[in-house]
Amino acid sequence: MIGVGNAWRGDDAAGLVVARRLRDRGVNAVAIDGEPVAIMDAWEGAEAVCVVDAVSSGAAPGAVHRVDVTEAELPHELTRTSSHAFGLAESIELARALGRMPARLVVYGIEGASFAAGVGLSPAVESAVGEVVAALREEVEMCTSRR
């Protein structure tokens, strides 16, 4: 599992918080600032990967979007803005073009309320983080029980 975000931009830290909470529960999770090569390096050799990032699509704050991007692009409405120099969607498509995609890639987007400078998550995003942590624990159990 890869959490993407910026700890200094409010709700953009959602992916980082999910990664930390999963790591605390024994799940293999890394936190990355969104740099494309670092993302590709993090999933190198993995069969199935989940990536969590904050999104700003216009949905209600705290809404959770789950998209399997193994065969299709991340929907444009989830990628309108990014506080990262190179957004997650561009990173995924670069990996696809370079043949560096995992066999299965699922993106969880948590709809942010505020991406202004500062630390801490809004209440809606904090609640969604708990929901995504639970969903990812189930997904990890499902993937590992198939082996």
CA 55 to CA 102: how far, in whole Å? 22
If one counts every other C-beta atom within 10 angstroms of the C-beta of residue 144, the result is 10
Say which residue the tokens 């799940």 belong to.
27
Q: State residue 79's pLDDT score.
A: 65
Model confidence pLDDT, tens digit, residues 124-143: 999 999 999 999 999 888 77
Closest CA to 50 of 35, 37, 66: 66
Mean pLDDT over the full length of the chain: 90
Domains of the chain, earliest start first: 2-145 (3.40.50.1450)
Alpha-helical (H) ranges within the chain are: 14-24, 36-43, 88-98, 123-145
pLDDT of residue 147 exceeding 60: no
**How many Å apart are CA 59 and CA 114, to the nearest integer?**
13
Sheet with 64-68, strands from edge to edge, namely 30-32, 2-4, 48-55, 104-111, 64-68
Q: Strand, coil or helix: what is 121?
A: coil
In terms of pTM, does the model score above 0.85?
A: yes
Write out pLDDT tens, residues 36-47.
Answer: 889 999 999 999
